[in-house]
Structure 1
Amino acid sequence: MKIENGKRIAKNTLMLYFRMLITMGVTLYISRVVLNTLGAEDYGIYNVVGGVVAMLAFFNNSLSIATQRFFNVEMACGDIESLNKVFSTSVFSYFIIVVIILVIAETVGLWFVKTQLTIPVDRIDAAIWVYQFSIFTFIINILSTPYNAAIIAHEQMSIFAYISIIEVLLKLFTAFLLIYVMVDKLILYAFLLLLISFLIRCLYVIYCRSHFEECKFHFVKDKRLLNKIFSFSGWMLTGTLASALNTQGINVLLNIFFGPICNAARGIAYQLQGAILAFIQNFMTAVQPQIMKLYSKGNIVDMTHLVYGATKYSFFLLLLLALPVLANTKFVLQIWLHDVPDNTLIFTRLIIIDSLINILFIPLGTITQASGRIKFYQIVVSLCFISVFIFSFVAFVLGYPSYYAFLISIFVNVLGLFFRLLILHKYYDFDIFMYMKNVLVRIIIVGLACILLSFFIHFAINFYIKFVDKWSIFFSSVFLNLLVVFFCCWILGFSLDEKRLIKSKIKLFIKNRF
């Protein structure tokens, strides 16, 4: 069973990496074209106005996690009728959410955009159009969530790869179209993204209805299941609402205190972070269904080992990508964008460091989702997110610079990790000592060793080859930082058993190929 699960995770991860390699490169190029075409101010307006709509995502995100959880549990049981009940009930619940979101977005949300955001007077009308298009884009994405949950539960990751490539190519066409049209580019960009979202969601719906028997909506009067889904998502709602404050809420604060150029810098930093995280998110997307299914079958020992491994390997993979970027952030931004908005450099570095901490939370949170007992865990998560928003607001009122929001987030997330572990130990019998020994201690040692060696490499390169061209310095730095991560992970990160397993896999691979 372990071998079969491992092969499935590896296959799905490879398909998601194939998707990511294409979409990541094209998306980064699109960001550059859109920024240069719209300008920093309009790019910032799009980022913050779209962020106001995204704040309403806490409704959808909580229900999405609940849907995915119930799909995975029923998939483990193999009951098609029960799967169809989950699907149909989920679709019905999403229609309820859409009505709630429309009411809030067209009243409170619209008032907030018109009166509270810092937007130049001559761009207010454009901002309102962007807001309306963003609302309908968001609603389309919400209604397609049950179909996406079905694909993930069936672990058919190849469909994500193919459709994502179509989506990113359409967005690339949109970016080039903006260069040549003479209408308001900001409004056109928002409208075309709405159109692309509609087309892509149609593809997902058509695929699911033709391949999965359970993905055919029937009105199901199952109040018990509906209550279970809303009860589960109700506690998830607290975490996702707080998360919205921590992400889009901070974006709004940056707009109010520092203006749209600061939103542009944050948006660019998150684009680069997203490109790096895509590698890890693909791995976790493949692993999470396995964690939930192992829990549903009562195989707690294998689930715990999978959580340990997923946490450690995801951190090492992220560090492998993050360290070269952290060491060469300025050069990467200049090559990517040419004209880099103020604060982008420090935002990018702090956001990537924060991501190295946040990646540890995903496997831990999956345990609570699998169990269905999420109340106290979500309370801790919510308090962490809300405290970042509150402390950032206080810092800005006191006159501290914009990057303090990200420093605060790093500090709170470090504390939040230990609070999460305490909750898992108390309510889920999670062994903190074994987690610290097998995962956290090794991660900390590897991280500190890599950072110290990277600083040494940076000063050595700048001292010995400072007269060489910038590209030579960049490639030398990237190569040496990659070697540092490989070396530290192998020597300090892996146990003797893990090293033996890796060696045996390499020997087997060589034997089969040669």
Structure 2
Amino acid sequence: MKHSQKLLLNTFALCIKIFIKALVLLISTRLVLNELGASDYGLYNLIAGVISLLSFLSGSLMISTQRFLSYSMGENNQDKLVSVFNVSLLIHIVIAFVLGIVFISLQPLFFNGFIDIGDAPIEVAKSVYDIMIISAIVTMSTIPYSAVINAHEDMVFFAISEVLVIIVQLFAAIVIMFINSNLLVTYTWLMMLSIVVGFLSKFIWCKLKYKEVKISIRLAFDKYKIKEMLGFIGWNTLGSSAVLLRNQGVAIVLNYFWGTIANAAYGIANQINSLVLTFSSTLTTVFTPSIIQNKGAGNDERMIFLSIFSSKLSFLLSSVMAIPVLWNLHSILKIWLGDSLPEHTEI
């Protein structure tokens, strides 16, 4: 298969994933909002936001790991690939362990007046928080395997694994329609199950298909490679932390002044925003490995062409989604959520 055809196939596969994700999101959000109510749904989004605020490193780690893998592929250096994978795995395990300790240590601060949990019992809020700590650790452990799949431009399987996760999330929304107690805790456990399903599918696929996915303690403790990767992660972290502090900082401020109902509105608004930006991020996912591989192979002309072309295409596709949504936002929200629409969502 020609490389241009592979890019087209990857883009198509990820667009199908976007369509399925959007459909499931529309259905599950309404179901969950109806069953949990605006207050509990807002609490779920608030705690999820706090966890993501602390685990902002995951995005930086993903980009950095994929960058080093793709560059090594461009150099056609198999030994370096194995080394990069093992070093990244070690870094992720250490960071997951540290984050787990940080999450547990900060729990008394969050539930001692720092955030408004509305009418929810404190035990329920703490249980949701604890489950999300486990989810964050599993998510962190998945990153090296996701990076390997992306670096190999195996987006068809990546899309399939993400669809599996989406199906489990829809299952979670349906299940809580048939139970009468502990809805929020049950829903949080089921959402964690979707993360575990995603991890297992990617772990098994990588172990079966890619030669560099093999554990080597000796290669994992390559001091030069650890320093090089952590240096690259540092710059990515600076940008990622700014975005997350902005997004989740707003969530905490909204909670402080207006409570969990405002968090429900903000959570729904962020879901729509994510869908609009998904087209842009999808093209970034498709083109980034090729851009970095061409740099590794010394083909700067091809690298620059792909960078400019993907940027233009990302802007165009985001606009195609964003402009109609902005123009018809009121009608979309009323049809989608009906009477369950939290106050101020449109704003």
So what's the TM-score if we normalise by structure 2?
A: 0.95
Distance 1:287 1:190 in 2: 34
Aligned to 2:157: 159
Residue 312 (str. 1) matches residue 323 (str. 2): no
- Within a 5 Å distance, the mapping from 1:133-282 to structure 2 comes to 133-219=131-217, 220=219, 221-282=221-282
Aligned to 2:343: 342
- Within a 5 Å distance, the mapping from 1:102-501 to structure 2 comes to 102-219=100-217, 220=219, 221-339=221-339, 340-346=341-347
283 and 122 in structure 1: CA distance in 2 versus 1, 3 angstrom threshold: closer
Aligned to 2:60: 62
Q: Secondary structure at the match of 1:275?
A: helix
Structure 1 gaps, min length 5: 347-514
TM-superposed CA distance for 1:172, in Å, is 1.2
Could you give the per-residue CA deviations for residues 289-347 of structure 1, whole angstroms, max 9, x where no partner exists?
1221222233333322222222222111111111111111000001111121111112x
Could you give the per-residue CA deviations for residues 433-468 of structure 1, whole angstroms, max 9, x where no partner exists?
xxxxxxxxxxxxxxxxxxxxxxxxxxxxxxxxxxxx
- Code of the residue aligned with 1:259 in structure 2: it is G
Q: Which deviates more from structure 2 when the two are superposed, residues 311-320 or residues 289-298?
A: 289-298
Residue 29 (str. 1) matches residue 24 (str. 2): no
TM-superposed CA distance for 1:4, in Å, is 4.2
Structure 2 gaps, min length 5: none
TM-superposed CA distance for 1:284, in Å, is 1.8
Could you give the per-residue CA deviations for residues 125-168 of structure 1, whole angstroms, max 9, x where no partner exists?
21111111111011001001100000000000111221222221
- Code of the residue aligned with 2:113 in structure 1: it is T
Aligned to 2:81: 83
- Code of the residue aligned with 2:245 in structure 1: it is L
Distance 1:122 1:62 in 2: 34
Contact 1:277 1:318 in 2 (8 A): yes
Contact 2:168 2:193 in 1 (8 A): no
User: Cα RMSD over matched residues?
Assistant: 1.6
Distance 2:158 2:108 in 1: 33
Distance 1:123 1:336 in 2: 30
Contact 2:176 2:187 in 1 (8 A): yes
Which structure exhibits the higher relative contact order, with contacts defined as CA atoms closer than 8 Å and separated by 6 or more residues?
2
Could you give the per-residue CA deviations for residues 90-131 of structure 1, whole angstroms, max 9, x where no partner exists?
111111101210121111244224420011254322111111
Q: Secondary structure at the match of 1:214?
A: coil
Q: Secondary structure at the match of 1:69?
A: helix
75 and 109 in structure 1: CA distance in 2 versus 1, 3 angstrom threshold: farther
So what's the TM-score if we normalise by structure 1?
A: 0.65
Distance 1:157 1:122 in 2: 41
- Code of the residue aligned with 1:336 in structure 2: it is W
Q: Secondary structure at the match of 2:308?
A: helix
Aligned to 1:443: none
194 and 110 in structure 1: CA distance in 2 versus 1, 3 angstrom threshold: farther
Q: Which deviates more from structure 2 when the two are superposed, residues 50-59 or residues 269-278?
A: 269-278
Distance 2:32 2:158 in 1: 24
Contact 1:174 1:189 in 2 (8 A): yes
Contact 2:14 2:159 in 1 (8 A): yes
Structure (1 or 2) with the larger CA radius of gyration: 1
Distance 2:27 2:120 in 1: 29
- Code of the residue aligned with 1:271 in structure 2: it is Q
Contact 2:74 2:295 in 1 (8 A): no
75 and 110 in structure 1: CA distance in 2 versus 1, 3 angstrom threshold: farther
Distance 2:48 2:41 in 1: 11
Aligned to 1:416: none
How many residues align structurally?
Answer: 344
Aligned to 1:400: none
Distance 1:69 1:288 in 2: 8
Distance 1:231 1:63 in 2: 11
- Code of the residue aligned with 1:93 in structure 2: it is I
Aligned to 1:395: none
TM-superposed CA distance for 1:250, in Å, is 1.6
TM-superposed CA distance for 1:14, in Å, is 0.8
TM-superposed CA distance for 1:244, in Å, is 2.0
Aligned to 1:7: 5
121 and 324 in structure 1: CA distance in 2 versus 1, 3 angstrom threshold: closer
Contact 1:141 1:197 in 2 (8 A): yes
Identity over the aligned pairs, expressed in percent?
Answer: 33
Distance 1:239 1:280 in 2: 17
Distance 1:201 1:310 in 2: 29
